[in-house]
Structure formats: C-alpha cells, structure tokens
Amino acid sequence: MTNPFFSAWTTPYEAPPFEQIETGHFKPAFIEALAQHRAEIEAIGNDAAAPSFDNTIAALERSGKTLRRVEMVFNQLTSAATNEQLQEVERDIVLLVARHWNGIFLDPKLFARIDALYGQRETLGLDAEALRVLERYHLDFVRAGARLTADERLRFAAIVERLAALGTEFGQNVLADEQEAVFALSEAEMDGLPDFARDAAAETARERKLNAPFAVTPSRSSVEPILHFAKDRAVREKIWRAFVQRGANGNKNDNSRLIEEIVALRAEQAKLLGYESYASFKLADSMAGTPEAARGLLEEVWAGGKSRAEADRTALQDLARAEGQKEPLDAWDWRYYAEKLRFARYDFDENELKPYLQLDKVVEAGFFVAEKLFGLSFTPREDISGYHPDVRVWEVSRGGRVIGLFYGDYFARAGKRSGAWMTSFREQSRLDGEQIPFIVNTCNFVKPPEGRPALLSLDEARTVFHEMGHGLHGLLSNVTYPRIAGTNVVRDFVELPSQIYEHWLEEAPVLARFTHVETGAPIPEALLERMRAARTANAGFETVEFVSSAILDMDYHSAPMAGSVAEFEAGVLADIGMPREIALRHASTHFLHLFSGDGYAAGYYSYLWSEVLDADGFEAFTEAGDPFDPETARRLYEFVYSAGGQRDFAEAYRLFRGRDPDVRALLKGRGLVTEGAGEA
C-alpha cells in the first residue's frame, strides 16, 4: 500500500490528496515522521559549530515538515470526520507524539544552544522578527521544563504524556455521549418547532433508522431548537438534562475521574515550573498577565450580567405564569420564554430572519467583507478535494497573487464533534520560499433536506463570520517564520480577529446582500430595526452562562480542588450566586475547551478579554464614519491580521487603535453599561 505521506503531493498547491489518504496510512506515517524529526533535532543538538540563529533556531523551524503535514490532516479528521478506527489510531499515537515533544523540549544540549543565543540576543544583529522568534523559542522551552533538574524533567515528561492521553480520552467520551444517545420524538412532542428544526429532526430519525418521525441527539445543534421552541415542557426538560449531563452519566464515557486527575497533574506541572498555580503559569504568557487581572474583568462583567439576568428572570416567570405554567421557571424554560419575551418587548421573532440568511449567502457576505477590507477574492476550486463530501474549497487571492486555500465544512454529522473551530493543513511562511496557508473553517449547522438551502439563525450567521475572522488571521499572515505565523499568538489575543469580524455582519452594506430564499426580496427595514432594538434582549443570560464557565475554569486552575467534580462545580456556582435558572454554557464533564487539551485551560476568559479588544477596536471604524474606512482597515491588516506574533500583543493593539483598549465598549455592546468602567 503506497502511503501518500511519504511522497510529494502533485495536487494544486500541494494540497492534501484526501482521495488517496486512508486510515491505515496514519500510524506508519506518524512513526516515520517522528523518526525523521528526531534525526533532524539530534543533528541540530550535536552540531559541532557554535550556535547561531541559522544553525539552531532557523534549523528548528525547518525541521519536522513531514510530521506537521501528517499531524494537521490527522487532527482535523479526528475532530470532524472520525470513526472507531481513527479513534484507535489516535489513542495509539497520542503518547508517541507527547513523548517525542518531551524529548525535544527536555533535551539539555538543544536547550543549551538556544539559551546561549538568547543570552547574546542583543549582539546577534537579528532583525525584529528573527529576534522575536528567538525569544519565543526560548520561552517555549523554559515553559516546557528545559530548566528543570534531571529528576524533575522525568516527572514533568510523565505528566505531559499522561495529560495527552487523558485529553484524548476526554474528547472521545464527550463525542460518544453525543453519538450514542438519541431521543425519538413524536409529532406532538415536536409541536412549536419551526420547519428547519423539524426537517433536521426528521433527517436524524432517518439516519438512525428509528421507527419514529423525529429524533434529536444531545449535541448543541440538535438541542438548541428544542429548548427554544418545543411547547412540551417535559420534552424540553428531557433533552436539556441529556445535554448538560454529557460526560457525567456514570457510564464508560464518564469524565469526572479524568477531570480530577487532569486538574491535579496540571497543578503539579505548574509547581515544578515554580508557579503558585496552573492559572498563574498559563497567564504569565498572556495579555492579562495574572489570574487576578483576568478574574477582575470577569467579576466586573459578572455583576452587570447577573443583575440583568435577574431582572429578566422575573419577567420570564411572570410570562410563564400567564401562559399557565404552575411550576417555577427552570433552566429548560429560559430559552423558550426568552423567545416569547423578546417578541413581546420588541416584536421580533428571530425566525423571521432565517429565510434571508442562507448559508451560501452568509459565506459570500463574509467574502465580500474580506474583499472590501483587505482586497481578497475567493474562487471555488472543485478540483481540490476535501476530506468529506460536504467540504468546499476556495482559492484565495490578493493583489493578483494566490495567498492561500480556504476549506469550509459547515454541517453537523456523525463522527464530528460539536462546536465551531478554525484550523489549518499548512501554515504560512517565507523561510524557504513562499508557503501559502491552507485554512479550514468547521461549523455544525443543521444540514437541510436534499435540494433545499441551509438557513441560519442570526447567531449561526455570526458563527460563520467569527470563524472566517480566524480564517483570515491565518490566510493574511505575512511573516517569515512558522513559529509566529497566523494564529500562533497568545490565547487572549487570538480571539480578536474572529470577534471583531462579527461586527460587519450587521452593517448595512452586508445586510443588503441578504435576500429572501423564495421571493428574492431584501430584508425589510422594519425587521432590521426590530432586530437592532432586540440586539441585547437576552444579554443577561448570555453573559451569565459564559462568565460562570470562565470563573469555573479559573477556579479549577487556581487552587487545589476540593471534593468531587460535581461538588466542586456546585461550590463555585454557589460562591458567585449563580441563578438557579441558568446553566453553565459548558459544564465540567463536557468542557472540551478545558479538558480535551490545554489550549484554553485557565484561558476560557480570553473570549471576554478579546471582546474588550474587539468592541473597542470596531469603534475605530465607527469613529471614522465608515465600516470599511481604508486607513483603519490598513492598520487592522498590518498590526492584527497579517502580523502573527511579530511583536508584543498590547503594543500591536496600540499600533492599530492608537491607545489601550477601554472596557466600556464591551459593557455598552452587551447592554451592561456601568459607572466607573476603567481601562482593560
């Protein structure tokens, strides 16, 4: 069997040849790629010549190309198109990969070369970008244990390997709970749901071969319509409980034990590196800098959000009583009555917008904004294959030059984890000639019946723009070195390009591009006015469910965990006065951001930190009087989207905005304006 990872790819731009890649190719490809990379690293560490930037740092940047190629393809498939065979490979490979990177970061000879260069960095004559790359490499190695004693390095390596295995198991457990549970529903139980949700539930019943007209699973895209529109309160409760209990059902997929071990190991890892807590360790390399700074922002926003939610709770309870509900308002009631309250207050039903928000037109609108701001054009490439029939590919050009490929994977399906994310199959660099990036946007929208267009909610349309913002961060990257390319930035800066891009969705020139799926008519101005009036209608709920999850994350990683996972979570929520009628956006046992890997561990707050930046940053366009103001767009491109990790991120924001960010823009955007809001 010829393994495509062992030969040059003859596809356009050397894009992954998915039609040639089979599950059986991955394990031998990983083993060979790891061996190649290990030999390259040993050659760097054993080089008899004195360390130089080129023979050490640049050599590290050039190493591991085959490994990156295998990993990037494999990681997306195990997230978006997995099966039992791929998951078995994933479990086998995760320890090999963790052990491999431990061997690199804990190699004393290799670190000695990097450390020597770092000590001489001011006299090496490096340009600003190369100096930044050297500094980031040195920090990477220090934070990965390079300065530990021999015994400490052994323990640190064992922790890293165990955490890698636990993270893989955690993610697979959540997906299993989502895939294995399915709820057959009758016509009566679907009463109140709009056509799009009924169509999706009917398709799920057909896929699962159930003797029922409708079915839903505990995945978010399947659950949300039930919670918003199902008239049957018992159905809402049943589906809600399955949704929030993912990973906590006492079955083989239960994640409680994994969380306890992950939290303890992370705390030990941080202490080995000399930090008081894992949160202190993670935030030392962030814009926030300390857990206290991040917690301060969370608490400031929490106060206003909770107050707003409590006021809404009273109104929702009154509405429920008026409609004959004798029981107190509960978590499975909130979304249902919030829809009714929004309509009562603003005469706005979000479903009125759906016929105008066709997925294809929303994607095209995202491309339109990219063209207006950054001069990009997107051309479909049907000759470039995706990893699933749903995946579409575009060639992206700027100034007459191709700068990347953009893959869009928008529909939910079996074998695909919940949520939305951006990743890449190749990152931009110029180290050995121009290497264009291959960027992937993945979402989980309900797939319509054959021959019918996919219609999105306003929130789903924002998700398209959000992920496209991440995608542009990768596509517009314009650096020499892979280490600082695209989204290789600190966690509380990485959401700025995605979140600021959401703002353009509701700008008049963009809204004008959306027309009714049947009549072709534009969105009526009266409907847009009601939409704008209702923009912050449920802001209290949205703030509380997010901020409570961010505080839970910070508490897991700030002090030793007391009691079981359930007890710890309940204690955190009691301490902050969590309204009983609102659930965490991500309960512990399915909190993939935190426990399927360490990317957002002690970093979930970063969405809110970046919201300060994006809300304040978009005001620069408002102040210019034009959402596409050329000069403001130029600064946004130069200092945010194209710059990667070239400079300190607070400095990057100041160069774009002309000053530090102001938290009041966030509070205003959420409808939570408070007196005395200060600088972020």
What are 549-576's pLDDT values in tens digits?
A: 999 999 999 999 989 999 999 999 999 9
Tokens at residue 584, please?
């965490």
Percent of the chain scored above 90 by pLDDT?
Answer: 95
Backbone angles phi, psi at 507, to 5 degrees: -80, 145
pLDDT band at 638 (very low <50, low <70, confident <90, very high): very high
CATH for 355-533? Answer: 1.10.1370.40
The model's pLDDT over 13-62, given as tens digits with 9 standing for 90+, comes to 999 999 999 999 999 999 999 999 999 999 999 999 999 999 999 999 99
Q: Is 40 a catalytic residue?
A: no
Q: CA-CA distance, 544 to 546, in Å (whole number)?
A: 5
The model's pLDDT over 23-34, given as tens digits with 9 standing for 90+, comes to 999 999 999 999
Distance of CA 146 to the CA centre of its chain: 29
- Asked if 330 and 317 touch (Cβ cutoff 8 Å), the reply is no
> Is the pLDDT score of 168 beyond 70?
yes
* Average pLDDT of every residue of the chain: 96
Would 256-348+537-604 and 355-533 be classified into the same CATH topology? Answer: yes
Tokens at residue 187, please?
């016509």
Average pLDDT of the residues in 8-15: 97
Report which secondary-structure segment, H or E, holds 214: strand 214-216
Would you give the DSSP letter of residue 304? Answer: H
Burial of 518 (0-12, 13-18, 19+ CB in 10 A): exposed
Tokens at residue 32, please?
């060979």
> Is the pLDDT score of 679 beyond 50?
no
- Asked if 577 and 306 touch (Cβ cutoff 8 Å), the reply is yes
Residue 196 has a pLDDT of 87
The model's pLDDT over 375-403, given as tens digits with 9 standing for 90+, comes to 999 999 999 999 999 999 999 999 999 99
Burial of 265 (0-12, 13-18, 19+ CB in 10 A): middle
- Asked if 181 and 251 touch (Cβ cutoff 8 Å), the reply is no
Average pLDDT of the residues in 506-525: 97
Burial of 328 (0-12, 13-18, 19+ CB in 10 A): exposed
What DSSP string runs through 550-595?
Answer: HHHHHHHTTS---S-HHHHHHHHHHHHT--TT---SS-GGG-HHHH
Question: How many angstroms separate the first and last alpha carbons of the chain?
Answer: 57
The contacts of residue 132 (CB under 8 Å, 6+ apart) are: 484, 645, 646, 647
Residue 333 has a pLDDT of 98
390: left (phi over 0), alpha (psi -120 to 50) or beta: alpha
Classify 193 as helix, strand or coil: coil
> Is the pLDDT score of 605 beyond 50?
yes
The model's pLDDT over 572-596, given as tens digits with 9 standing for 90+, comes to 999 999 999 999 999 999 999 999 9
Question: Which residue pairs, CB below 8 angstroms and at least 24 apart, start in 653-659?
Answer: 653/493, 653/496, 653/613, 653/617, 656/617, 656/620, 657/616, 657/617, 657/620, 658/620
Q: CA-CA distance, 224 to 228, in Å (whole number)?
A: 6
Q: What is the largest CA-CA distance in the chain?
A: 82
pLDDT band at 676 (very low <50, low <70, confident <90, very high): very low
pLDDT band at 672 (very low <50, low <70, confident <90, very high): confident
Average pLDDT of the residues in 209-229: 94
Residue 1 has a pLDDT of 63
What DSSP string runs through 42-102?
Answer: HHHHT--SPP-IIIIIIHHHHS-HHHHHHHHHHHHHHHHS--HHHHHHHHHHHHHHHHHHH
**Which residue blocks in 144-210 are alpha helix, DSSP H?**
150-180, 195-207
**Catalytic site residue from 90, 189, 460, 467:** 467
CB neighbourhood size of 101 (10 A): 16
Q: CA-CA distance, 657 to 662, in Å (whole number)?
A: 11
Q: CA-CA distance, 103 to 361, in Å (whole number)?
A: 48
What DSSP string runs through 416-481?
Answer: --SS-EEEEEE--B-BTB-B--EEEEEEEEPPPPTTS--B--HHHHHHHHHHHHHHHHHHT---S-
Query: Which residues lie across from 435 on neighbouring strands?
Result: 429
Closest CA to 617 of 643, 637, 598: 637
In the CATH hierarchy, which fold is given to the domain comprising 4-105+107-147? Glutathione S-transferase Yfyf (Class Pi); Chain A, domain 2 (1.20.1050)
Closest CA to 486 of 125, 204, 72, 79: 72
Global model pTM greater than 0.75: yes
In the CATH hierarchy, which fold is given to the domain comprising 256-348+537-604? Neurolysin; domain 3 (1.10.1370)
What are the structural domain ranges in the chain? Answer: 4-105+107-147, 186-244, 256-348+537-604, 355-533
- Asked if 115 and 56 touch (Cβ cutoff 8 Å), the reply is no
